[in-house]
Each structure stands twice: as structure tokens, then as C-alpha cells.
A and B are shown apart, each in its own frame.
Chain A
Amino acid sequence: MPHLKVESDIKNIGMEGNMSLSLKVWRQSDKDAAGGFEDYKLAHVSPDMSFLEMFDVLNEQLIEEGKEPVSFDHDCREGICGACSMYINGRPHGPLRGVTTCQLHMRSFKDGDTIVVEPWRASAFPVIKDLVVDRDAFDRVISAGGFVSVNTGNAQDANSLPIAKESADDAFAAAACIGCGACVAACKNASAMLFVSAKISQLALLPQGQAERSIRAEKMVAQMDAEGFGACTNTGACSAECPKEISLENIARLNREYIGAKFSSSAV
């Protein structure tokens, strides 16, 4: 049976490999606490473990020692929900391109390595505990305009409006954003432009998104600013660190949409 040999024994968890690691992990008890790094040692790490499984082992070890385990966000562990969010050795989601923290495996590290792990740092993403941050700001940006205003039951037949494969594919590529916030964490200004532009692009590329195109760009950008995300200075760090490799072209498209919106808006 492909199951863990639980009784053989659970002590074996984390005793399968031969990598030893030093970890420096950010610990912070709540949003107002000061926080700081703590050092931990782990032996017998297997290269087949995922980064989060390595943290599971650390946490079981901490519990064993009567210490509180490290809190971190995670859920799918398949690189799709966008929950995991560790800043590893100075890079959001660690050293690999196009990979989330949960899909990073220990074979990307070497025996004897020291690994520094921090939460996302941005004033719009306050720390809740340890490596867990509050990303509600992203939901509020979506609420401001990241949708098509169509009530259930009003839709026409799905094939009544053909969409060029190219536009559909481009829209899909933009829609692949998992809302993790690595782009914000990667940016020295903590700008959310990549996240916001991905949603604006997706809908601007589809005929269904046309009716609200201008107002959407205006409202989402206004909300993004209100949340305290920084300005975009086109360094491109966001896209380089984005686990879904969301393209910088989206930011260019947002800028066009936004300028277009401002021209047509009564406010100009």
C-alpha cells in the first residue's frame, strides 16, 4: 500500500535523507510585535522533500521540544492556490524561476546550506504571525472592478461569440495569476502592478470585458493606490520572481488601458 509506514515509526519522518541544514526563520507573535530571526538545525533532510515538507519536519521537531511551531500559509501544495508565500534567501518563493514555495524541492539545496526564511514584506501586507501575512488588499482590488458585471442567468450561448484563439490564449496566460503576492514582495516599491495588470489584461483581451474596460482600469488602480502599494518604476523584478511568469506586457497594457480610461473619463 502506498501509505506511510506510520508505526515503523513516525520518528522516521525527516530521517530519510542525509542533508543537514541551518535555518534562520522569522518569528513574530502578532502584527504589532517586533519579531526577529531564530536559528534552527535540521538533519536528515531528503532531497525529495518539498520545502514545506521540510517545514513540517521542523515543526514536528519544535513540538517535540515543547516549542511553538512556525506558522506559514499553505493549502494546495500544488502551486495553484497561491497561499504559500515564503521569502527564501532573499527571493520570493526561493531560487527557482516559475516555481512556488510549495513546489520547490530540497534537491535545489545542498547539504550544509544555511537558508533564511522571511515573510512577504510590504506595508499593504501586514504580518499576522511568523511567515503569515494579510493579503486582503488583493481581494479589495478585485472587488473594485476585477469582474464582468453579468448576473447569473443572463448569458447567451457560449459559442455565439467566437474569440480568436490568440486572444483567448493571451487572456488565459494573464488569468494564470495565483494572487500570491510575490510580485509585491519582489518589488523594492512594493508595487502591485503585475497582479492588477494581469486581471485588467485578461478582461481587456476578451469581448466580454469590453463594456467596463475603462471604468475597470480606473477603479482597480484607484483601489490599488488606496491600499498603499507603491508605484511601479519598471524594474521588472515582479515578473522575474512571479511563480506563474506573468509577463511585463500586462503592465504595458494596463498603462494603455489606464491612459485610455483617463482620456475618456469625465474627470479629465
Chain B
Amino acid sequence: MATSSRLDAKIPQGSLESKWSKYRSSVPLVNPANKRNLEIIVVGTGLAGASAAATLAELGYKVKAFCFQDSPRRAHSIAAQGGINAAKNYQNDGDSVYRLFYDTIKGGDYRAREANVHRLAEVSGNIIDQCVAAGVPFAREYGGLLSNRSFGGTQVQRTFYAAGQTGQQLLLGAYSGLQRQVGMGTIKMYNRHEMLDIVNIDGKCRGIIARNLITGELERHGGHAVLLCTGGYGNVFYLSTNAMGSNVTAAWKAHKRGAFFGNPCFTQIHPTCIPVSGEHQSKLTLMSESLRNDGRIWVPKKQNDNRPGNEIPEAERDYYLERRYPAFGNLVPRDIASRAAKERCDAGYGVGTSKLAVYLDFAAAVERYGRGEASKNNIHNASDVDIITWGKAVVKEKYGNLFDMYKQITGEDPYEVPMRIYPAVHYTMGGLWVDYNLMTTVPGLYSLGEANFSDHGANRLGASALMQGLADGYFVIPYTIGAYLASEIRTGKISTDHEAFVKAETEVRERIETLLRIQGKTSPELFHRRLGKIMWDKCGMARNAEGLKEAIQEIRQLRKDFWSDVKVMGNATYFNPELDKANRVADFIELGELMCLDALDRNESCGGHFREEYQTEEGEALRDDENYMYVSAWEHKGPEDWELHKEELVYENIKIAQRSYK
């Protein structure tokens, strides 16, 4: 297979270790006087967008930043819990840039680009330095140095964290940098604005159409480059751990205007989420992967065992991850842990009223920590009660906020009874296809963070999304954007009177008017639920060709129904979340079809993409490197019409192997 001539990943020459440093020192520069005249539009203020906006403004560019929430600080990154990876080797446990690179490629089941991932590992350490300098209060040891924990898919401790609120602390750090530039007048911030289209002129991206969500007005914004840092599309499944507002609209509009969509079917299902409690469920809540450091996952050995968890004796429990994967145990990567939970539940061993849950149990950790405290304090005859009390205190310090959240949602106390968990949609590895510079197939249009397809292959390792978002924003784009902008210094200010702006704005307006005119019987919310149901059943944790073909037909029908029967209340001249939702759901429906198409094309199982037809005898994913070692990059040709382009993946530094965590 050869890479499509339409895709040039622009990977620099040279050895893997020297590519980035050499390239970085040879990218064309833009002098300060010219930077002042170059405008950059940053859509999204999560970790990727906020760090990019702040850094580009520091460099002297004129920046406009957009988010749909009422404040940039509320971007979905705020909800990340467990931590951020970096190859600092502070624990002296054998970590290195190469090992982080290797773990990420392997964790991604050999479907990511070597050069990008190596660069990510190289800059990971700088991220931690930068965040600490900006006042991010990471967890520390008594000696005052930074603390680390383990995450799935690795055997070193390289995850930095701030209790279960790492995303919050990192985002507030990036946000403070952004607000500093807002205060200095170098960034103009547009809160409660939603980008509804990009504008291309003569083959280059020159701006966006945004809607002021308070007044409903459409606005044109011109720029020399546009960065989409708009997050992932997990909400295509309706239920996911993403925030309610997370959506694909920005990326989708770009896709329809020429940006290829990379690996759309690569979705991450996170193994440890709070199970669905009923029909009213509006979203799912993650219980951080960090809990698998100390929690042991099990189900009863007997099918349909209805006894409460803590009444089931030790000998009658099946710690199935430890049994199947002794080397990694409870810390296998997410895709593997999720499938194993599904396998047990499908086989009738699930727990709780729905039987769609497994236990995550802290009893052993409580006892171990309790004994540890006793010996630290030289107490040799401690009672069991004391040991449990001390152990609980240690667990509380590590995971207190997560335990509180669990209790708040389920009404059960996880200090007393094991948690019930089940996999849920969490992250999307797929996204806009980008080259090494993070540029999409539309010149001048970039994509950063979860919105792009880049570094995680077919499965992302825990604590690597925060790393990637900040790498892209703080340390990659500020350099790579020069390669494009250096040739834009003579362009002059972008006029928004150009007919391309007029046309794009008109199209956005007409679509909104259509949505309001239909006045059917079904709310956007219900269409979203219907889509989610199709996606979860047929393009979720397990997929097969037959189901995917059905799903495509069902989604096409859903799209027709939507455009003839949606009921959008109110109008477009004031704050109207129903209209915003309708717009987003319409795009999710189209994306759903492409995801199924991509899943159908990929006749193999890899990472989060599990095709039932392709598995080993033990039920592990069966890759087909001969035929599918490529990135799929889909070009939009028209309604229900796409063309597939392939970027061949070449591994020069890693020996590909069947992924094993046994």
C-alpha cells in the first residue's frame, strides 16, 4: 500500500531522535513587526486552545479566541481527573523519552505515527516545568518534590497529578496565562460564541463564521490562520463521560469544507465509569483510571450471584484481569479492561440490579495501607479496626474526591462496599487529519488536542490526552505555525467583505432558519438519544460488518427524520440552547455515518476498534498489519459520499508485535 498523493505528513528527515530538534531550529521565523500584523483565530480554550492562544500571543501574534461556554475556564478539559504523563524519570524507575514513545505506540496498537509520538515524548518534560512555573499545585511528597502515580499500559510511574482534579488544575493554569494576555490586549476573548463554519478563500482558510449565543447574531472573523482546538466527539454516543456541550460541529464544518477526517471509528471506551441508573441518565461519570492503582476488579465466580459484594467470600471471586493478564493485572490498557468487563457481563457474571457492572474493590488496599501506617508508626499490635481506619484515611487522601462523587451519584458508600463500574465512551482518538505541523488538508487550518487524530493510534493511554493537548499548544504549534505564516506576511488584513464570507454566513443563516421552520414533533434531545443508541449498539465496544451496514441505513433514515420532524423551540434572536443543540445533533448524525463507514472499512481489530470477526482464540484483538497499517483519511464529497485516502504507517524504530500484556 502506498500513501495517497493527497496526503503529505511532512515528516522531517533525519533520525527519530533528531527530527524535532533539527526541524524546530530550521522552521522559518516571522519577525516581531510582522507578527503584530498576523491574526490567528483559536477556536476552543481547553488545554490545547488555551495554551496555544496564550503562547502565540506571548510571541506577538494577534489572537482571537472562542469558546461556547460562559468562560474559557469551563472547557471540558477541566473535568480530567487522573493525571498527565511525562518522561521525567523522577522516580528513577527506568523511564525515558524512548520508553514513553514506545509505550504510546504500543498502547495505540501500532496505528500512530512514530515521528509525532516521539516529539510528544520529547516535550512532555517541558510541560511539567511550564505548569509548575505557572503555579499549578501538583501533588508533592513530604520532601517537597513532585509525586507520581502509575496508569494503565505502563510499568513505570510517570503520571503527575493533583488529587483527582488534574485537568482542573492544568486548565486553570493555561487559562490564567490566557487571561493574562486578554488583560494585556493581545488576545480578544469571545465567550459564549459558537463557530459554525470556516471560510476558505483561494484554497486557504481565512476565517470563521461564529454565532453570538446570547444575541443570536452571526459574526465574521478573518484571520491568517485558524486553529481548531475544539475537543472530541464522544457525545455522538449520547451517553459518554464528556461534558454535555462537547460536540463535533467545528471539526465537522471543517471536514465539509475540505479537511480530511482521520480514523473516525477509533473511539475509547473507558473501563471504569459509574453504571447507568435509569432512563433519565443524561451523561456518565468517570471514575479515574488512577483507581486501578489500588482497586481490584472482580466478579463472582458464579453466574447470576445476587449476594451483595462484601458477602461474597474471597474464594468465590474471580479477579479476571489478574487471572488473564498477570504481568499488568488491573493496569492493562483501557481497551483491554473494557472488553474484559463486557465479556464477563455478557457471560452472565455481571453485578448490581442491571447486571451490567463489575466490582472495583478497595478492601485489600485499605488493609495494606492500614498495615503500612501501623508499621510506620511502630505499632505492632494494632487491632483490625484500627488498621481499617488508618487504611481508609490513606485511601481518602488519594482518592477522596472520587469516592465522594461516587457516593453522591449512587447513594452507596465505596469505603464500605465495593464500587460498581462499567465501561463508557470516553475519548475519541479519531479527528481531523493533520500533518507533522498540525495542519489539516486545508492550508492555514490547524487542529490541536483531542480534535485532531494524531498521537494515540487506535487506543490512548491514560494521562496522555492532557499531555498531548498541552504539547500541541505550548510547544508544537508556536514553532510549526511559522512554516506557514512566514509566507503570509505580505497578505495584509483579511477582509470579511469577501464573497466567501458572505456565502458562508448565508449558508449558516439558512440552515438555522430551516431548523426553526420544520416545527416537527421530536425534540433534538430525542434524536440525539436515538443516534446514541444506534452508535452504541452497532459501532460501540464490539462491531461487526452486518451491524455496521444496518447502522448506516438506520442513520441515513434518522437524518431524513431529523430534517423533517425536528422541533426546535424559540427563535434565533436570543439565547436559545435548544437551537444550539439541534445544530450539534445534526452534525453528529452525519459523523455517525462516517464512523460506521470507517469501522466497516477496517477489517481488523486494533485498540479500541474491535471487530468481532477478527479476534484470537483467547478473544484478543487481531490486527492485520499487512492490509491495515494505515491512517484512514476521509474526504467529504457530498451528502452520504466520501472518498478514503490512506496514509501508510512506517515503523523504522519499533519492532511491531502482537500487543501482549500477559
Chain A interface residues toward B at CB < 8 A:
1-7, 10, 12-16, 29-30, 46, 48-50, 52-54, 56-57, 60, 62-63, 66-69, 71, 73-83, 98-99, 103, 105, 107, 128-129, 132, 134-136, 138-139, 142-144, 146-159, 161-165, 168-169, 171-172, 175-176, 178-179, 202-203, 206, 208-209
> Do A83 and B70 touch across chains, with their CB atoms under 8 A apart?
yes
Please give the distance in Å from A129's CB to the nearest CB on chain B.
Answer: 4
> Do B133 and A150 touch across chains, with their CB atoms under 8 A apart?
yes
Question: B179 touches which one: A2, A129, A146 (CB < 8 A)?
Answer: A146
> Do B244 and A2 touch across chains, with their CB atoms under 8 A apart?
no
> Do B71 and A138 touch across chains, with their CB atoms under 8 A apart?
yes
> Do A53 and B575 touch across chains, with their CB atoms under 8 A apart?
no
Question: A53 touches which one: B176, B280, B570 (CB < 8 A)?
Answer: B280
Q: How far is the CA of A178 from the CA of B172 in the complex (A)?
A: 9
Question: B183 touches which one: A1, A6, A144, A202 (CB < 8 A)?
Answer: A144
Question: A143 touches which one: B142, B169, B182, B276 (CB < 8 A)?
Answer: B182
Q: How far is the CA of A162 from the CA of B280 in the complex (A)?
A: 48
**In residues 62-87 of chain B, which contact A (Cβ within 8 Å)?**
69-74, 76, 78-79
Contacts of A66 in B (CB 8 A): 569
Binds A, one of B305-313, B403-411, B586-594: B403-411
Contacts of A76 in B (CB 8 A): 74, 76, 78-79, 243-244
Max chain B Cβ within 10 angstroms of own Cβ: one of A6, A12, A50: A6
> Do A202 and B137 touch across chains, with their CB atoms under 8 A apart?
yes
Chain B interface residues toward A at CB < 8 A:
51, 54-55, 58, 69-74, 76, 78-79, 88, 90, 126, 128-135, 137-146, 162-163, 165, 167-169, 172, 175-177, 179-180, 182-183, 189, 191, 214, 238-239, 243-245, 275-283, 285-286, 354, 356, 404-405, 408-409, 411, 422, 424, 474-475, 478, 523, 525-526, 529-530, 532-533, 536-537, 540, 567, 569-570, 574-578
Contacts of A75 in B (CB 8 A): 69, 74, 76, 243-245
Contacts of B76 in A (CB 8 A): 75-76, 81
Contacts of A151 in B (CB 8 A): 55, 58
For the complex of A and B, 7 pairs with smallest distance between CB atoms: A162-B144, A143-B183, A147-B176, A155-B133, A155-B129, A172-B137, A158-B132
Question: B278 touches which one: A16, A52, A63 (CB < 8 A)?
Answer: A16
Q: How far is the CA of A53 from the CA of B578 in the complex (A)?
A: 16
Q: How far is the CA of A236 from the CA of B46 in the complex (A)?
A: 33
Q: How far is the CA of A100 from the CA of B283 in the complex (A)?
A: 16
> Do B180 and A77 touch across chains, with their CB atoms under 8 A apart?
no
> Do A132 and B73 touch across chains, with their CB atoms under 8 A apart?
no
> Do A77 and B135 touch across chains, with their CB atoms under 8 A apart?
no
> Do A202 and B135 touch across chains, with their CB atoms under 8 A apart?
yes
Max chain B Cβ within 10 angstroms of own Cβ: one of A16, A132, A139, A171: A139
Contacts of A6 in B (CB 8 A): 526, 529-530, 532-533
> Do A3 and B239 touch across chains, with their CB atoms under 8 A apart?
yes
Q: A63-B569, A162-B145, A163-B140 are in contact. Are A149 and B72 (CB under 8 A)?
A: no
Q: How far is the CA of A57 from the CA of B177 in the complex (A)?
A: 39
Contacts of B404 in A (CB 8 A): 98
Which chain B residue shows the least CB distance to A47?
Answer: B411
Contacts of A162 in B (CB 8 A): 140, 143-145
Q: How far is the CA of A164 from the CA of B142 in the complex (A)?
A: 7
> Do B135 and A2 touch across chains, with their CB atoms under 8 A apart?
no
Please give the distance in Å from B173's CB to the nearest CB on chain A.
Answer: 9
> Do A154 and B78 touch across chains, with their CB atoms under 8 A apart?
no
Q: How far is the CA of A16 from the CA of B483 in the complex (A)?
A: 58
Q: How far is the CA of A150 from the CA of B133 in the complex (A)?
A: 7
Max chain B Cβ within 10 angstroms of own Cβ: one of A80, A129, A143: A80
> Do B529 and A156 touch across chains, with their CB atoms under 8 A apart?
no
> Do B533 and A4 touch across chains, with their CB atoms under 8 A apart?
yes
Q: Please list 12 pairs of residues, one from A and one from B, whose beta carbons are closer than 8 Å in the complex, sorted by A's number.
A: A4-B276, A6-B526, A48-B278, A63-B523, A75-B76, A76-B243, A83-B70, A139-B179, A147-B179, A148-B134, A153-B475, A179-B73
Please give the distance in Å from A8's CB to the nearest CB on chain B.
Answer: 8
Q: A73-B70, A75-B245, A202-B135 are in contact. Are A81 and B354 (CB under 8 A)?
A: no
Contacts of B137 in A (CB 8 A): 168-169, 171-172, 175, 202, 206
> Do A203 and B70 touch across chains, with their CB atoms under 8 A apart?
no
Q: How far is the CA of A48 from the CA of B132 in the complex (A)?
A: 40
Q: How far is the CA of A154 from the CA of B277 in the complex (A)?
A: 48
Contacts of A165 in B (CB 8 A): 140-142, 144
Question: A152 touches which one: B58, B526, B540 (CB < 8 A)?
Answer: B58
> Do A60 and B525 touch across chains, with their CB atoms under 8 A apart?
yes
Contacts of B131 in A (CB 8 A): 158
Please give the distance in Å from B276's CB to the nearest CB on chain A.
Answer: 4
Q: How far is the CA of A112 from the CA of B78 in the complex (A)?
A: 36
Q: How far is the CA of A53 from the CA of B76 in the complex (A)?
A: 19
Which chain B residue shows the least CB distance to A55?
Answer: B282
Contacts of B569 in A (CB 8 A): 62-63, 66-69
Please give the distance in Å from A124's CB to the nearest CB on chain B.
Answer: 14
Question: A71 touches which one: B144, B169, B577 (CB < 8 A)?
Answer: B577
Which chain B residue shows the least CB distance to A205?
Answer: B137
Question: A105 touches which one: B129, B183, B411, B533 (CB < 8 A)?
Answer: B411
Please give the distance in Å from A173's CB to the nearest CB on chain B.
Answer: 9
Contacts of B276 in A (CB 8 A): 2-4
Which chain A residue shows the least CB distance to B522?
Answer: A10
Contacts of B167 in A (CB 8 A): 80
Q: How far is the CA of A60 from the CA of B522 in the complex (A)?
A: 10
Please give the distance in Å from B251's CB to the nearest CB on chain A.
Answer: 18
Contacts of A69 in B (CB 8 A): 569, 577-578
Question: B145 touches which one: A10, A53, A132, A159 (CB < 8 A)?
Answer: A159
Contacts of B144 in A (CB 8 A): 162-165, 168
> Do A77 and B283 touch across chains, with their CB atoms under 8 A apart?
yes
Contacts of A105 in B (CB 8 A): 408-409, 411
Which chain B residue shows the least CB distance to A171?
Answer: B137
Q: How far is the CA of A14 from the CA of B134 in the complex (A)?
A: 46
> Do A156 and B356 touch across chains, with their CB atoms under 8 A apart?
no
Contacts of A128 in B (CB 8 A): 214, 575
Q: How far is the CA of A206 from the CA of B79 in the complex (A)?
A: 24
Contacts of B74 in A (CB 8 A): 75-76, 81-83, 179
> Do A81 and B79 touch across chains, with their CB atoms under 8 A apart?
yes
> Do A16 and B129 touch across chains, with their CB atoms under 8 A apart?
no
Please give the distance in Å from A17's CB to the nearest CB on chain B.
Answer: 8
Please give the distance in Å from B494's CB to the nearest CB on chain A.
Answer: 26
Which chain B residue shows the least CB distance to A162?
Answer: B144
Question: A158 touches which one: B129, B176, B191, B536 (CB < 8 A)?
Answer: B129
Q: How far is the CA of A78 from the CA of B145 in the complex (A)?
A: 30
> Do B177 and A147 touch across chains, with their CB atoms under 8 A apart?
yes
> Do B275 and A139 touch across chains, with their CB atoms under 8 A apart?
no
Which chain B residue shows the least CB distance to A156?
Answer: B129
Q: How far is the CA of A41 from the CA of B103 in the complex (A)?
A: 55
> Do A148 and B135 touch across chains, with their CB atoms under 8 A apart?
yes
Please give the distance in Å from B344's CB to the nearest CB on chain A.
Answer: 14
Max chain B Cβ within 10 angstroms of own Cβ: one of A79, A135, A154: A79
